[in-house]
Amino acid sequence: MKLQSFRIYTIFFLTLFLLACSYRFDIGVSSSKEKGLNFILSHPLGGKSIELNRFMIVTQVAGDWDYKHPAWAFSLPPGTYSEVRNIGYGDVPEGFSEDRKPAKLLPKVSYMALGVSAGGGGSAEFNIGQ
């Protein structure tokens, strides 16, 4: 009986540890005439910044996401991260390298914002105002 309880507690704490080390962060998308398209990155357990390594906008083509030809992308070298909270479309955060210049985003096209962080990632689908 004690061995079974020990296994249950071990599995519980291991699961808790793994969830704490890897997470999915949220990406909010907003648009205004003054600021243009803006992406807000937030941790699901609190409002702190995300330690970002890579960010890209991909287009949906014939029902599939075109990851090979992003509409816009920037990154840091593998294994390095920088804290980011807000990203304006076309505005590369300080320290990042632009991998692909921003393309004009079109109405009636589906897009997805994707980010990779230290131990997690996030995504959000969006469309440009019709």
Q: What is the pLDDT of residues 59-95, one digit of tens each?
A: 999 999 999 999 999 999 988 999 999 999 999 999 9
**Would the pTM of this model clear 0.85, i.e. be above it?**
no
DSSP run (H or E) holding 13:
helix 2-21
Q: What is the pLDDT of residue 17?
A: 44
Q: What pLDDT was estimated at residue 15? A: 47
Q: In sequence order, what are the residues at sequence separation of 6 or more whose Cβ sits closer than 8 angstroms to the Cβ of residue 24?
A: 44, 120, 121, 122
CATH class of this structure's domain 24-127: mainly beta
Quick one: tokens of 78? 């593998």
List the one residue out of 112, 128, 33 whose CA is nearest residue 73: 112
**For the chain, which residues make up each domain, given as ranges?**
24-127
119 confidence band (pLDDT: 50, 70, 90): confident
Q: Which of 65, 66, 69, 124 is nearest to 100 (CA)?
A: 69
Distance between CA atoms of residues 55 and 114, nearest Å:
6
